[in-house]
Amino acid sequence: MSLIVRIFTVILALLVAFLTAAVVLTLGFLLPAWHHVSGDPGQSQGLGFVIAFSFLVICGLVLFPALIIVAVAEGFAIRSALFYAVVGGATGLFYTFGLGDYLPDGQIGSGFGRDTEVFAAAGIAAGFVYWALAGRHAGESRDPPPSLT
């Protein structure tokens, strides 16, 4: 696989992973109280807009750290699903505790509550999706080392 194809694969896999995180965050936070938000328990037409907005926010917040993680994983040819899930969950926890100072009353990041679990679950899901699409082939685009014989 050429380097250009690998770069496009990584970018597409990151976007799909960010979309997965947006879906998990939206469903994790809004679904339990959706009938209070929408007014009608059967109405879910606004859910797509919320997921799209969450996707844009996640892309803006997580793109640079994700590119660093991907570069390290590609450089060291790390292909473990556990690595990507743990790093994704750690990134979700980092953003959970990091956002506590910027939200009213410090609601997010105040402890290990449901919000922390949802952020960690979104990171784990995104990490696993990235591994399934691109991470399991990490480091394959490099040329093999020359043989000694």
Q: For 71-112, what is each residue's pLDDT tens digit?
A: 998 888 888 899 999 999 999 888 887 765 555 555 554 566
Count of CA atoms in the C-beta half-sphere (13 A) of 139: 12
Helix (H) or strand (E) holding 29: helix 3-30
More reliable by pLDDT, 149 or 127: 127
User: Is the model's pLDDT at 53 over the cut of 80?
Assistant: yes
Total tally of structural domains belonging to the chain = 1
- Ramachandran quadrant class, 109 (left: phi over 0; alpha: psi -120 to 50; beta: rest): left
Contact between 47 and 26 under an 8 Å Cβ cutoff? The reply is yes
Residue at 111 is within a domain = yes
Q: Quote the pLDDT of residue 96.
A: 81
Residue at 108 is within a domain = yes
d(CA 112, CA 46): 29
Residue at 146 is within a domain = no
d(CA 11, CA 68): 13
User: Is the model's pLDDT at 34 over the cut of 90?
Assistant: no
Residue at 105 is within a domain = yes
The label of the residue with tokens 């597409």 reads 12
Residue at 125 is within a domain = yes
Among 3, 4, 15, 7, which Cα is nearest to 66's?
15
Residue at 56 is within a domain = yes
More reliable by pLDDT, 119 or 40: 119
Which pLDDT band, with edges at 50, 70 and 90, does 115 fall under? confident
Which range scores top for mean pLDDT: 16-20, 26-30, 47-51? 16-20
pTM of full prediction above 0.85: no
Residues 64-73, mean pLDDT to the nearest whole number: 91
Q: Which domain holds residue 132?
A: 3-35+44-137
Residue 119 neighbours by CB distance under 10 Å: 26
DSSP state of 116: H
Q: Quote the pLDDT of residue 109.
A: 45
